[in-house]
Amino acid sequence: NSTKGSILLTIPKGKSVNYISKSGSWYKVSYNGKTGWVSSEYVKVATTNTGTSTKPTTPSKPSTSETVTKSTYTTTANLNLRSTNSTKGSILLTIPKGKSVNYISKSGSWYKVSYNGKTGWVSSQYVKVTTTNTGTSTKPTTPSKPSTSEPSKPNTSDSAVKSTYTTTANLNLRSTNSTKGSILLTIPKGKSVNYISKSGDWYKVTYNGKTGWVSSEYIKVTTTNSGTTTKPTTPSKPSTEPSKPSTDDTVVNKIYSTTANLNLRSTNSTAGKILLTIPNGSTITYISTSGNWYKVTYNGVTGWVSSDYVKVSTNNGTSPTNPSTGSGSSNLPPGQTINSMVVYTTNSLNLRTSNSTSSSSLGTIPANTKLTTAYKASNGWYKVSYNGKTGFVSGSYLISQSTKARIDSLEANKNSYLFMDLRTVSSVTANQINAYIKDRVGNNRSVLLNSGDIFVEVGKKYGVNALYLAAHAIHESNFGKSTIALDRYNLFGYGAYDLVPYLGAVKFDSIKQNIEFIAQKIKATYLGNSWHNQGTYLGYSVKSIAGSRVDSLSKGMNFYYATDEKWGELIARHMTNIMEYSKESAAGSSPNTTPVSNPSYPDLSDVFPTNTLAVAKTTFNLYDKKSGKVVGTMPKGAKFNLLEKDNNYWLTVKYNNRTYYANVSFSSYNKYFTVKNLGRVDTGGVALNVRADASTSAQVITTINHKDYVELALDSKDVPITKNGWYKVKVNGHYGWASGGYIVRELNR
């Protein structure tokens, strides 16, 4: 469940997938027999009526109390009942929309309920709470047959049912059900409000004669039976005025901390640019909520994080301090108290009087010093004490206790694949590599089956350890089963940008060509005389509590090759699975230091149908030839034909009946152009039938091969023509219909 995961296949737009589970902003799904993870941002959840019904349960006996109070909890959508109050909890069953559940308790935005004999947790967002007063009742007796007379009117006695809505924090009453609504007044913590209605996560209430909206997160609902009603006494005035909450309706004594290393993004979407990575356990400053995302500030940077990985807790009723900046510990800079944590310094650094390099130094703290901190300034500096002096140090030079333990554990085992020189001849055999791949692939398609001899041969040719090469290819291509491995012989994900993984990935003629390319590339850069070389072994990377790489502690290929701190460890695990380290004769042997040149991409390209229509989103340069001179510009809004894209990302285009070349940033192509009618056949290897009509019973006109590009027919608004889930296509000058389940739209963002 990460954009670093290998691509198993590409699911066409509009296709249905089978939901399995959720983790953060990712769904685990199955499609066409494949199981994997997709971003939930691009999945629409539709609720359907299956037509099934359940037998009504036998009603329980009425209460023997004199007054009957009923709070009904009803689902507003098909709702998962989970084992824990988290989307990570296993799904016990799915409660149909409109069903009543038995309420037990509440934790945050989750209700503990029972349904059909199962007890678990549901999101309160999809549960409607209705409190009703049924009047009075008497202890039940054995019922006689019902009378045919009209029912009597309900009891009008003074017995009362009361649902009390109480604020759990100083809370803004707003003009609308949004943090953008103007603040009408601030309701003090512990005050009762008059409930009117609910909209999403907001309650419409009245307080002190004012009617407005409050966040339901900070309202406690208590239903009581008072027997008889009494007039409420006039409350006395509070001794002091309540403090105003922040304008975003957050509570000042709430602490928001990450429960995993978490990306801070530019927008509330996994498509948003990653601004930085917030370390696990870090405290962040909450600003607002949008769906499943929190807008927060960390280390002076503001962005969005998934709420699934943020823990909200209270700080014993105290609020973050925000006095004027001062020196030492008597006056703290803006920030907040955090749970006490142990940290270690990564370098020798100054202990300063405040959270700035311009403040005075109180002394120097040596590298690898153990410190404790419980206060974090808003710019990512931490309050610590050393040698009897208290001051501030930057989080960029601190690592967590768990990170320190990881480093110590890795360094204590130098005799391992993690530290073996990769410029050595491996004693691994082709059969050992083949057996490992076959065991993991099973009956699935894979381009790595029986490829062991290629790794052994190429490893010797370029002086790169063959066992490492095989493990690297296995890791990046999911044992040769990824789409770009199968279709483009690209085992290592070169060029497979998140926005355009398939067409971005560099093409190769064979897996041998690809393995030779990577062996030469790695030997020339990460294992050669290059700035990439930070140690000729796998190594590992270390991140500070601020999320930045700690250069002084990171080493080996992992330093630059991968942002994943544990990339080297994952490769080493595959190596161990193929052959135990004790059996690798390369360990301790002399390395091959013969230099090699940096390879070029093979001269291959993707050729598109002649009438592939694109529209420019901005102006960009047009060249007379590849790497030639600029001879014009493509105007914004202009329509042109996209004819070809080569491995060096040069595009061949046709505009105003002339052929030009363009070289835009392909990793963000959607800033420059979008394509209206380019399809790619994805059948898993077989030919796709093109029929006379949108039906499997229609006559087959022709076929299109797997991996081929196809022109989609457009309507007058340049929208692909579809019918019953089929695309109208043009093949060899003739129109027909092809099943949309086997066609992937490309470059249409």
Tell me: do 427 and 398 sit in the same domain: no
**pLDDT at 24 (0 to 100):** 65
Closest CA to 377 of 437, 443, 423, 331: 331
Asked if 282 and 342 count as a contact pair (C-beta separation under 8 A), the reply is no
Cα separation, 493 vs 5, in Å, equals 10
Indicate if 640 and 567 belong to the same structural domain: no
Q: How far is CA 668 from CA 173, 501, 633, 671, in A?
A: 43, 11, 19, 6
How far apart, in Å, are the Cα atoms of 701 and each of 653, 686, 692, 696, 739? 30, 16, 6, 12, 13
**Boundary of a domain, candidates 583, 616, 643:** 583
Q: What pLDDT score does 670 carry?
A: 96
C-alpha 330/C-alpha 343 separation (Å) is 22
Q: What are the pLDDT digits (tens) for 51-106?
A: 433 333 333 333 333 333 346 788 887 788 888 877 777 778 778 888 888 888 77
CATH (domain of 432): 1.10.530.10
Q: Is the pLDDT of residue 248 over 60?
A: no
pLDDT at 259: 82
Q: How wide is the angle at C-alpha 658 spanned by C-alphas 638 and 506, nearest 5°?
A: 80
Least confident of 11-20, 113-122, 123-132, 231-240: 231-240
- Predicted confidence (pLDDT) per residue in 403-437, tens digit: 999 999 999 999 999 999 999 999 999 999 999 99
* 202 occurs within a structural domain: yes
Cβ pair 41, 116 in contact under 8 A: no
Domain end, chosen from 644, 675, 706, is at: 675
Whole-angstrom distance, CA of residue 330 vs CA of residue 105: 43
Q: 3-class DSSP state for residue 296?
A: strand
pLDDT of residue 71: 66
Q: Are 647 and 602 in contact (CB under 8 A)?
A: yes
Contacts (Cβ under 8 Å, ≥6 apart) of 172: 183, 186, 187, 214, 245, 247, 249
Task: Give 468's DSSP letter.
Answer: H
Instruction: Report the percentage of the chain scoring pLDDT > 90.
Output: 55
Average pLDDT over residues 270-288: 82
Pairing relation of β-strands 335-345 and 398-400?
Answer: antiparallel
Q: How far is CA 94 from CA 52, 97, 125, 671, in A?
A: 13, 9, 15, 41
Asked if residue 694 and residue 669 are part of one domain, the reply reads: no
Of 32-36, 249-253, 380-384, 584-588, minimum mean pLDDT range = 249-253
Averaged pLDDT for residues 338-351: 96
In this structure, the answer to whether residues 282 and 397 fall within a common structural domain is no
Q: Is residue 237 in some structural domain?
A: no
Residue 76 lies in a domain: no
In this predicted structure, what is the pLDDT of residue 4?
A: 66
CB 391 within 8 A of CB 351: yes
- The single-letter code of the amino acid at 684 is G
Q: Is residue 245 part of a domain?
A: no
In contact, 77 and 124? CB cutoff 8 Å: no
CA dist., res. 165 & res. 690, Å (int): 63
Task: Tell me the pLDDT band of 446, cut-offs 50, 70 and 90.
Answer: very high
Domain span at residue 267 reads: 254-314
Tell whether the torsion through CA atoms of 688, 690, 694 and 695 is positive or negative: negative
Are 557 and 454 contained in the same domain?
yes
DSSP alpha helix (H) spans, 637-725: none
Burial class (CB in 10 A: 0-12, 13-18, 19+), 388: exposed
Q: Provide the pLDDT confidence category of residue 134 given band limits of 50, 70 and 90.
A: very low
Give the end of a domain, one of 553, 583, 613.
583
Model confidence pLDDT, tens digit, residues 216-242:
877 887 654 433 333 333 333 333 333
Characterize the bridge pairing of strands 726-731 and 254-258: unpaired
Residues 463 and 567 in one domain: yes
Instruction: Tell which wins on pLDDT, 297 or 600.
Output: 600
Residues of the chain with pLDDT > 70: what percent?
A: 83
Q: What is the mean pLDDT of the chain?
A: 83
Q: What integer pLDDT is reported at residue 68 of this predicted model?
A: 32
In a domain, 728, yes or no: yes
d(CA 562, CA 460): 25
As a whole number of Å, the end-to-end CA separation of the chain is: 22
Residue 533 maps to a domain = yes
- pLDDT band, residue 600 (cuts 50/70/90): very high
Mean pLDDT lowest among 261-275, 390-404, 668-682, 686-700 = 261-275
Same domain for 463 and 446: yes
Q: What is the DSSP letter of 662?
A: E
Which of the two residues, 235 and 653, has the higher pLDDT score?
A: 653
Q: Percentage helix, strand, coil, to 5, in the chain?
A: 15, 35, 50
Tell me if 690 sits within 8 A of 736, measured CB to CB: yes
| Within a domain: 20 | no
For residue 679, give both structure tokens: 């399809």
Which residues sit opposite 67 in a β-bridge? 136
82 C-beta neighbours (distance < 10 Å), count: 21
C-beta separation of 734 from 702 below 8 A: yes
The verdict on 467 and 570 lying in the same domain is yes
CB 24 within 8 A of CB 306: yes
Instruction: Answer whether residue 481 is part of any domain.
Output: yes
Average pLDDT, stretch 298-317? 74
State whether 667 and 629 are in the same domain: yes
Sole residue written with tokens 């917030």? 278
499 and 540 housed in the same domain? yes
CA–CA gap between residue 668 and residue 678 (Å, rounded): 18
pLDDT of residue 571: 98
Q: Is 731 in a helix, a strand, or coil? A: strand
In this structure, what CATH number is given to the domain that contains residue 626? 2.30.30.40
Taking the whole predicted model, whether its pTM rises above 0.95 is answered as: no
**What pLDDT, on a 0 to 100 scale, did the predictor assign at position 317?**
38
Clarify whether residues 375 and 300 are in a common domain: no
Q: Does 559 have pLDDT greater than 50? A: yes
| pLDDT classification of 328: cutoffs 50, 70, 90 | very low
Contact indicator for 532, 433 with CB cutoff of 8 Å: no
Q: At a CB cut-off of 8 Å and minimum separation 6, what does 569 contact?
A: 410, 418, 538, 540
Residues 556 and 684 in one domain: no
- The C-alpha atoms of residue 385 and residue 241 are separated, in whole angstroms, by 36
Q: In this structure, what are the phi and psi dihedrals at residue 239, rounded to the nearest 5 degrees?
A: -65, -30
Give the residue-averaged pLDDT of 43-47: 65
The answer to whether 43 and 27 are in contact (CB under 8 A) is: yes
Those residues with Cβ within 8 angstroms of residue 46's Cβ, 6 or more apart along the chain or in another chain: none
Domain count, the chain: 6
Residue 174 near residue 183, CB atoms below 8 Å: yes
Token couple for 746: 């490309």
